[in-house]
Structure 1
Amino acid sequence: MVGQGRSAISRMAIKSLLFSAAILGTFLLAGCAGLGLADMSREPASLAAPKDKDFPNPGSATLRNGSFPSIEALRAMRTGMDKDQVRELLGSPHFSEGVIGVREWNYVFHFRTDKGPGDVTCQYMVRFDGSVRVNGMYWRSPDCALLVEPPPVESPPARAAIAPQKLTLGTDGLFGAEGSSLNDMRPEGRLKVEHLAADIKRNFRRLYYVVVTGYTDRLGSDSYKIELSLARADAVSQLLAQYGIDAKIIRIAGLGGRQPLVQCPGAVQTTALLTCLEPNRRVEVEVVGEE
Structure 2
Amino acid sequence: MKCYHQLIVAILLIVYPKPSFAEAGDSMISHGPHLDQSVHFPDPKRASRRSGVITTPSNIVMITPGARTDDVYKLLGVPHFYEGFSVSHWNYLVNIYQGPGVAHVQCQFQVVFDKKRRVTATYINSKQCYEIISSKENYNQ
**TM-score category, normalised to shorter length:** 0.5 to 0.7
Identity of aligned residues (%): 32
What aligned pairs does 1:14-163 form with structure 2 within 5 A after superposition?
Answer: 50-51=36-37, 54-100=40-86, 102-113=87-98, 118-150=103-135
CA apart distance, 1:71: 3.0
For residues 195-214 of structure 1, give each alpha carbon's deviation from its aligned partner in whole angstroms, at most 9, with x where no partner exists. xxxxxxxxxxxxxxxxxxxx
CA positional deviation for 1:145: 2.1
Distance 1:53 1:128 in 2: 14
- Deviation (angstroms), 1:149: 2.5
Residue 53 of structure 1: CA displacement?
6.2
CA distance in 2 between partners of 1:85 and 1:99 (Å): 19
Say if 2:56 and 2:98, in contact at 8 Å, map to a contact too: no
1:111: how far off? 2.5
SS in 2 for 1:80: coil
- Partners of 2:35 and 2:130 in 1: how far apart? 14
Q: How many residues align?
A: 103
2:51 aligned counterpart, secondary structure: coil
Aligned to 1:264: none
Per-residue deviation, 1:58: 0.6
Q: Whole-Å Cα distance in 1 between the matches of residues 48 and 94 of structure 2?
A: 13
Contact 1:52 / 1:140 at 8 angstroms: preserved in 2?
no
Q: TM-score, normalised by structure 1?
A: 0.32
Q: Which amino acid aligns with 2:91?
A: N
Aligned CA RMSD, in angstroms, stands at 2.6
**1-structure distance, mates of 2:38, 2:52:** 19
Between Structure 1 and Structure 2, the one with more helix by share is: 1
SS in structure 1 of the partner of residue 110 of structure 2: strand
Structure 2 length normalisation: TM-score? 0.62
Uncovered stretches (5+) of structure 2, i.e. residues with no partner:
1-33
Contact 1:124 1:137 in 2 (8 A): yes
Q: Which has the higher contact order (CA 8 A, sep 6+)?
A: 2
Larger Rg: 1
Moved over 6 A (4+): none
